[in-house]
Structure 1
């Protein structure tokens, strides 16, 4: 009699009108065992293999072991997806169901007053549900001494009439009409007094970020702050264990079998300035290096600015120069046939490249300027800013913004006095703790409200590229690898290479 796993395998393939011989059945069992797929997830993974089998041209009703083995050895390009910000589905947080619900109706560039409010509520609720699930805030059902040290979140409406009591609040840092710094949640706001706070916890606290604030409520209706910190970050594994069935990217949920597949690939990232006379020479040197070492990257990402000034500010001569530089780049890439045939090229615009769209997310490079790139490079992709790469279970977010300078310009409360290395770490922690690429108010950085979710970092991606003109860095925080490749020109033509199988980046 067949064991439970065999019955699952037979059931799935029978659904597709396939029959399995002993060798094929044994091979599928061995796959589940090799990848350590638990019994409760076996059907989900076998379903994926069955679909891959059906994609083969010579798939037969009687399952062929040779074809099955080929289906298991998947083509990496079939699992490589480039996702624009405007293609990502919007998932709202539902209080009633305590889960995410997909938004109905079309998303628009103009948005609405309701969508602006909903965007900020979603930011708050996404973080709040992770905070309440954290061990420090979630009460255990078992009696324990630790319950006495449990931190209980309160709402601003619970402050009324309770002066001289201590509270822990969670909300957004913002300024009121009088210019006073406040903490705002879904029920109201309270003015903050930082005079007794020596130093906040690690991170950068900006207007628009969400913070946990502990303090004493005074008779003056202010909260005298004694501690402030960023919300705790939830790992990708924890989030996916709860919401793994939700297709946040719009490319289908990933099976556990896919997650266990490790393939060697390289993603190379640069920030070139095509107006700089040495840029093309540096790129040619990089391509030569690839050919000499017989290593062709699967994906190469080039981040702007590709233009020196916003195109609306450029005169006709500068626009013509911009066109010529992009055409020269197309000719340069096409001069390396092996790279041209093999490598996917992704162009991500910088802050100056799309002058007609200062709000985030930004449109791709204008199509009128990239005709030769499209005609000469078969695997070229013009991404939004930000955009994402999905490679099997890996999710890589690419964001081109001078984020460090913008964050430092908009610090509020007690400002850290730290060294450069600490600033890099604080920036990474702040962005990931906030689950958002731009934890600022929309008055500081305009965002298309219907597409605010495209800047969301929940669940945590596998890697985040914060492409910035600031110094290079790389670090891993809560399992998410974050790095800045730095400027290509003026830094000996260096770039960063990310290896998905190791989940690490390295400087080249």
Structure 2
């Protein structure tokens, strides 16, 4: 039964102020600005008419306040933002009403929540450093960058990282320090605050850069200062340090130089914590597009993911335990006959496994990172050869109809693929790379029903998970541009040496280690064993080494690369002279919040699978390594991956 029509009434802000103050300010602690009051007067008069003082109107104001606080809009209610919040509320109410009046919706289909988001399709949100949240951009990203975009390129990275660091509990100083006895709190100082304060200790957060004079500098939004890393600097060995990285460093300011004592990366933040802090924003615009209330909407307002709906999607993931992603190794050179033979054997094996399991384990997506040609694509005749190569690949995959019917093929371009290689000629192209043009893949599209042409990097949404995919030689680029510190941390290795002193032998050990042992081991049995060990050393005149647990160098290298990228929160922590980036699309390279899984297709780094701060990172390595085919399989229901290989 429909409600009777409401005759609109014209209300003034002064009439609405008492009711709005009682509900919004006294009950919810929000401050209503004059522009917000004008919007409320207009909405209440149009929606409730002469009954704007009724309980229904007060409930409406209460819902507005709850929606405002849920979206973390701040304490001050402004008119321009309030219009978007009320519009979202009304759209949700209309959709629920229409949904209740219609027939039951169709069964759940996971493919509705399996979407590819290329770099140029991602919505553009600008970070407001004063309010500490994202705002919709006034205009979309263009083909050619503006001076404003170039200026904000590194500033936005700094602001996002700065606020992420301040959310850490060690940087949150309590209001009543006396109640938090025994805890230490850190404070980041702007660089400009050090001027005129010699011989004082500071903690800085800034970007590393190398000046024209050959010296190293650290800079933030307030200025820059020269670094002295030659005397006392002891950097953390858990990450790479390159120009363009943002680091935390402690030291003393003296004679216009900052003498660095320690240096380390800002620790990454778990995905759920970042989403909670930023108000569960839909950065990819996928869930908003799936929601009927957001059809036809653009980035004129912030779109957010409904938490209850996201929880339902997570439950659905466990129902599809047989779904898996197949990620092939990088550099699938289709102009190499050995690669074609390897692909034929691999696809044959995947189809045979799918048939043998009666479809219980389904490869829903096969990700193929480039480059797909061994030499950079050139304008003089490469188009014909590249087209023929892709047509031959279409003939190859047509031999596996069962696999293609259930799995999607995703092509991720590399540095040698068109059209970027036409201009770079083998050098580092500008990121992000556009998908491979359809003129080369039209036959593949006819043969395979589900083909996705991705950008590089690209993002994939599967139910509640976000999967980032990137193809780049990170390991080689990080090692090539790494800053070499004069005083690297010594290895934690202590040697007990024996030497003659007087009539006996005296073991020479690390004093701190010896003192720690004395404090911990006061038991008589332990003392007796220590004395027996000392007697053996004196009699046999041997050396004993105390070392850290051994870690394979490939694992250490993998962890170092992963932590560098995730701590920086960006896929290109380099200056644009090292890794060119399109100014207008730098936001597509952010890793904030961290993805559920990150695919690093990097043949210059050992194959690995590492989980850091809840983000699962994998690297399948090189596709064809000697006579071995490499690929990895990721199961989203468990969040685990497996490295697989086979011989040609």
User: Residue 630 of structure 2 aligns to a residue in which SS?
Assistant: coil
| Aligned counterpart, 1:259 | 314
1:328 aligns with 2:392: yes
One of 458, 467, 477 as aligned partner of 1:396: 467
1:269 aligns with 2:358: no
Q: Mark the CA change 1:244 to 1:329 in structure 2 (over 3 Å): closer, same or farther.
A: farther
**Correspondence 1:185-334 to 2 at 5 A:** 185-197=220-232, 199-201=234-236, 202-219=238-255, 221-251=256-286, 252=288, 253=305, 255-262=310-317, 263-264=320-321, 265-270=323-328, 271=330, 272-294=332-354, 295-312=361-378, 315-316=380-381, 318-334=382-398
> For structure 1, which segment, 76-85 or 407-416, has the greater mean C-alpha deviation from structure 2 after superposition?
407-416
Indicate conservation of the 8 Å contact 2:209/2:218, yes or no: yes
User: Residue 260 of structure 1 aligns to a residue in which SS?
Assistant: helix
How far is 1:199 from its partner? 3.3
How far apart in 1 are the matches of 2:640 and 2:279?
A: 23
How far apart in 2 are the matches of 1:507 and 1:308?
A: 25
One of 414, 435, 449 as aligned partner of 1:364: 435
1:94 aligns with 2:115: no
User: Residue 152 of structure 1 aligns to a residue in which SS?
Assistant: coil
> For structure 1, which segment, 483-492 or 160-169, has the greater mean C-alpha deviation from structure 2 after superposition?
483-492
User: Residue 337 of structure 2 aligns to a residue in which SS?
Assistant: coil
Indicate conservation of the 8 Å contact 2:233/2:260, yes or no: no
> For structure 1, which segment, 291-300 or 154-163, has the greater mean C-alpha deviation from structure 2 after superposition?
291-300
Higher relative contact order by CA 8 Å / sep ≥ 6: 1 or 2?
Answer: 1
1:483 aligns with 2:618: yes
How far is 1:481 from its partner? 0.4
How far is 1:367 from its partner? 2.6
Q: Mark the CA change 1:210 to 1:473 in structure 2 (over 3 Å): closer, same or farther.
A: same
User: Residue 237 of structure 1 aligns to a residue in which SS?
Assistant: helix
Indicate conservation of the 8 Å contact 2:234/2:261, yes or no: no
How far is 1:290 from its partner? 1.8
Deviation digits for residues 462-486 of structure 1, max 9, x if unmatched?
Answer: 0111101122111000000001111
| Aligned counterpart, 1:11 | none
TM-score normalized by the length of structure 1: 0.84
How far apart in 2 are the matches of 1:429 and 1:52?
A: 44
| Aligned counterpart, 1:504 | 640
| Aligned counterpart, 1:177 | 212
Indicate conservation of the 8 Å contact 2:174/2:180, yes or no: no
Q: Mark the CA change 1:146 to 1:433 in structure 2 (over 3 Å): closer, same or farther.
A: farther
Deviation digits for residues 169-191 of structure 1, max 9, x if unmatched?
Answer: 00100112322110010011000
User: Residue 625 of structure 2 aligns to a residue in which SS?
Assistant: coil
Q: Mark the CA change 1:51 to 1:408 in structure 2 (over 3 Å): closer, same or farther.
A: farther
How far apart in 1 are the matches of 2:182 and 2:122?
A: 41
Indicate conservation of the 8 Å contact 1:208/1:441, yes or no: yes
How far apart in 1 are the matches of 2:102 and 2:434?
A: 48
Q: Mark the CA change 1:183 to 1:146 in structure 2 (over 3 Å): closer, same or farther.
A: farther
How far apart in 1 are the matches of 2:95 and 2:611?
A: 35
How far is 1:142 from its partner? 3.5
| Aligned counterpart, 1:458 | 592
**Correspondence 1:40-59 to 2 at 5 A:** none
User: Residue 136 of structure 1 aligns to a residue in which SS?
Assistant: helix
> For structure 1, which segment, 127-136 or 357-366, has the greater mean C-alpha deviation from structure 2 after superposition?
357-366
| Aligned counterpart, 1:15 | none
One of 569, 575, 583 as aligned partner of 1:449: 583
Q: Mark the CA change 1:146 to 1:104 in structure 2 (over 3 Å): closer, same or farther.
A: farther
Indicate conservation of the 8 Å contact 2:460/2:467, yes or no: yes
How far is 1:243 from its partner? 2.4
Indicate conservation of the 8 Å contact 1:205/1:411, yes or no: yes
Of Structure 1 and Structure 2, the greater helix share is in 2
How far apart in 2 are the matches of 1:217 and 1:146?
A: 29
Indicate conservation of the 8 Å contact 1:290/1:296, yes or no: no
Deviation digits for residues 95-152 of structure 1, max 9, x if unmatched?
Answer: 2322111211121121012101112111111111110110111112333455762111
How far is 1:505 from its partner? 1.4
How far apart in 1 are the matches of 2:157 and 2:559?
A: 22
User: Residue 624 of structure 2 aligns to a residue in which SS?
Assistant: coil
How far is 1:281 from its partner? 1.4
Q: Mark the CA change 1:230 to 1:52 in structure 2 (over 3 Å): closer, same or farther.
A: farther
How far apart in 1 are the matches of 2:148 and 2:181?
A: 42
Indicate conservation of the 8 Å contact 1:274/1:306, yes or no: yes
Indicate conservation of the 8 Å contact 1:389/1:395, yes or no: yes
Indicate conservation of the 8 Å contact 1:119/1:449, yes or no: yes
TM-score normalized by the length of structure 2: 0.66
Q: Mark the CA change 1:320 to 1:356 in structure 2 (over 3 Å): closer, same or farther.
A: closer
| Aligned counterpart, 1:132 | 166
User: Residue 562 of structure 2 aligns to a residue in which SS?
Assistant: helix
How far apart in 2 are the matches of 1:215 and 1:285?
A: 58
Indicate conservation of the 8 Å contact 2:375/2:416, yes or no: yes
How far is 1:436 from its partner? 0.4
Q: Mark the CA change 1:194 to 1:379 in structure 2 (over 3 Å): closer, same or farther.
A: same
| Aligned counterpart, 2:449 | 378
User: Over alpha carbons, which structure has the higher Rg?
Assistant: 2
How far is 1:330 from its partner? 1.2
Indicate conservation of the 8 Å contact 2:124/2:140, yes or no: no
How far is 1:413 from its partner? 4.8
How far is 1:347 from its partner? 0.3
